[in-house]
């Protein structure tokens, strides 16, 4: 069957086969989803899945056997049971580590020492977060509970590395197999929790803020508030002109996620009816991508989410299709189901507030897979790697230390041809108060991520 193939390979020539045929009994939604992500999306290898054994046996091209039945030809990955199940089970995941190598669902059979498809599926779908019990004070899944943290690989884009391993092994087995890996991309994102420090607030909120400053004997804030409201000084959080100019210089389009919610609790942006705030939103929408930053209260109230998206759409003058959850609070699968229902196509919430790294084990966009419904959805998840608040407030790093850490993360994502998503806030770019010195970190690392030298 392969005589002509090996003849050409022997003389340094290759035959380009149209696709990789994957055999499994049965072909499940879970297997189809993760095979397409690893092979087509990350490695650029065209695939077809079949449950027909005869088709597999007589296929004259590269093929992968994902079953416990060993056949003479084809690359063999011995499967665990995960991709053949239809429910979410609270069971321990077997892990085997050896130096830098990490294998979930290890096996002593087949051409790989683990089930790369099940391992990747477990991490990318956030299977453990459906059954996780450890929550912080905001009700968020904690990184310390994650399998990646417990086994020391949370700082690595392990799924990208596994995809590369699989592709390399397949190309070694089938020299004519065509592959076109995805290319590195960079997305700069800005969260707008507080558009302004002093402007755009009701008289009651202004009086309350003034009272708190007086109570702390913070005379600088008192003087600054009066100067801003009198039009004698720019609002310190109004850094949007700088953000615009810097991204224009880099030829990068920023993505803004705007909290557009009624005041209450941690949802305390400026008034959604404030004229200056609405003019700002319209301006940003004309020159960048504007998405919703759903309020904490919308987590419990889908109707509120619908109203916030509709309100922001009206202010922006265009449909809102992207999102990032306020305080990065979300739960599986409820939050993402609500986003799909509201027509959100891309979400940027996948990351931890208290640590850097790869929450889903991957540095590339992927579709949200609803484990309870056992189906792929049209919602694309874009994981982020680094956030300003993480470095300053949780890791307690200096601006200089943070800049080096961010550049290391950029290098890591670039090395796997991933998508690097940065997360900053307009207020952290004020270069004043608690954020003194951080604008330079933003400039250095954002230009570095964009590939600008110097």
| pLDDT reading at 373 higher than 60 | yes
Q: How confident is the model over 220-263, as pLDDT tens digits?
A: 665 666 566 666 778 889 999 999 999 999 999 999 999 999 88
Whole-number pLDDT of residue 1: 38
How many domains does the chain fold into? 2
Domain membership of residue 208 (yes or no) is: no
Tell me: pLDDT of 35 over 60.
yes
If asked whether residues 325 and 418 sit together in one domain, one would say yes
Q: What angle do CA 136, 138, 143 make, to 5 degrees?
A: 40
Q: Are 50 and 125 within one domain?
A: yes
Range 273-289 average pLDDT: 96
Euclidean distance between CA atoms 112 and 270, whole angstroms: 55
State the pLDDT at residue 218: 56
Residue 21 main-chain phi, psi, to 5 deg: -95, 125
Give the pLDDT of residue 211: 53
What is residue 38's DSSP assignment?
I
What confidence score (pLDDT) does residue 5 get? 41
34 within some domain: yes
Name the average pLDDT for the chain: 90
CB atoms within 10 A of CB 349: 24
Specify if 178 maps to a domain.
no
Taking only the tens place, the pLDDT of each residue in 42-97 is 999 999 999 999 999 999 999 999 998 877 778 999 999 999 999 999 999 999 99
Least confident of 155-159, 215-219, 300-304, 367-371: 215-219
| Those residues with Cβ within 8 angstroms of residue 282's Cβ, 6 or more apart along the chain or in another chain | 315, 316, 317
> Is 10 among the domain residues?
yes
**Is 210 a domain residue?**
no
pLDDT at 152: 93
Dist CA 325 CA 332 (whole Å): 13
pLDDT tens sequence across 289-327: 999 999 999 988 999 999 999 999 999 999 999 999 999
50 and 138 together in one domain: yes
Residue 269 has what pLDDT?
81
Say what percent of the chain tops pLDDT 90. Answer: 79
Q: Are residues 306 and 409 in the same domain?
A: yes
Enter the tokens of residue 213. 């400053």
Residues 161 and 193 in one domain: no
pLDDT tens-digit readout, 415-440: 999 999 999 999 999 998 899 999 99
Q: pLDDT tens for residues 112-156?
A: 999 999 999 999 999 999 997 778 888 899 999 999 999 999 999
Confidence tier at 198 by pLDDT (50, 70, 90):
confident
Tokens of 99: 């130096």
Q: Are residues 290 and 150 part of one domain?
A: no
Same domain, 381 and 310: yes
pLDDT at 44: 97
Q: Are residues 161 and 287 both part of a single domain?
A: no
Same domain, 258 and 339: yes
Claim to verify: residue 56 and residue 109 sit in the same structural domain = yes
By C-alpha distance, which of 335, 346, 338, 371 is closest to 421? 346
Parent domain of 429: 185-197+235-449
pLDDT band at 166 (very low <50, low <70, confident <90, very high): very high
Quote the pLDDT of residue 9. Answer: 40
Q: Tell me: pLDDT of 212 over 70.
A: no
Residue 332: the pLDDT is 95
Whether residue 430 sits in one domain with residue 301? yes
Q: Is the per-residue pLDDT at 8 higher than 50?
A: no
**Banded model confidence at residue 11, pLDDT cuts 50, 70, 90:** very low
Report yes or no on 229 lying in a domain: no
Query: pLDDT at position 221, please?
Result: 65
């Amino acid at each position: 069957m392969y005589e002509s193939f090996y003849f050409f390979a022997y003389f340094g020539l290759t035959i380009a086969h149209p696709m990789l045929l994957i055999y499994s009994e049965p072909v499940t939604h879970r297997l189809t989803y993760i095979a397409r992500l690893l092979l087509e999306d990350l490695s650029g290898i065209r695939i077809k899945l079949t449950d027909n054994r005869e088709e597999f046996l007589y296929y004259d091209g590269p093929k992968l056997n994902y079953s416990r039945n060993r056949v003479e030809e084809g690359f063999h990955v011995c499967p665990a049971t995960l991709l053949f199940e239809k429910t979410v089970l609270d069971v321990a995941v077997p892990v085997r580590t050896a130096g830098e190598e990490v294998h979930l669902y290890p096996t002593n059979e087949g051409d790989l020492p683990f089930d790369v498809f099940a391992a990747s599926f477990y991490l990318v779908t956030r299977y453990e977060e459906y059954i996780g019990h450890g929550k912080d004070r905001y009700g968020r899944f904690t990184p310390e509970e994650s399998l990646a943290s417990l086994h020391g690989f949370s700082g690595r884009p392990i799924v990208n590395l596994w995809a590369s391993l699989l592709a390399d092994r397949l190309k070694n087995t089938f020299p004519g197999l065509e592959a076109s890996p995805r290319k590195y991309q960079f997305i700069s994102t800005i969260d707008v929790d507080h558009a302004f420090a002093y402007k755009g607030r009701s008289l009651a909120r202004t009086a309350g803020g003034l009272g708190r400053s007086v109570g702390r004997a913070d005379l600088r804030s008192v003087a600054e508030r009066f100067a801003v409201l009198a039009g004698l000084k720019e609002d310190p959080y109004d850094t949007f002109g700088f953000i615009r100019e810097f991204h224009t210089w880099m030829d990068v389009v920023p993505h803004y996620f705007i909290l557009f919610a009624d005041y209450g609790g941690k949802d305390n942006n400026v008034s959604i009816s404030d004229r200056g705030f609405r003019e700002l939103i319209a301006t940003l929408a004309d020159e960048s991508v504007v998405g919703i930053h759903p309020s904490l209260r919308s987590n419990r109230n889908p109707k509120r989410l619908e109203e916030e998206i509709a309100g922001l759409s009206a202010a922006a003058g265009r449909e809102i299709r992207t999102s990032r959850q306020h305080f990065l609070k979300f739960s599986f699968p409820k939050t993402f189901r609500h986003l799909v229902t509201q027509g959100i196509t891309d979400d940027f919430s996948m990351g931890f507030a208290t640590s850097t790294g790869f929450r889903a084990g991957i540095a590339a966009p992927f579709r949200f897979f609803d484990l309870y419904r056992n189906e792929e959805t049209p919602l694309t998840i874009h994981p982020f790697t680094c956030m300003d608040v993480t470095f300053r407030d949780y890791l307690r790093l200096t601006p200089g230390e943070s800049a080096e850490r961010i550049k290391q993360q950029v290098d890591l994502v670039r090395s796997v041809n991933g998508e690097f998503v940065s997360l900053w806030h307009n207020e952290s770019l004020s270069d004043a108060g608690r954020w003194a010195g951080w604008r330079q970190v933003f400039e250095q690392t954002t230009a570095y991520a964009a590939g600008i030298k110097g």
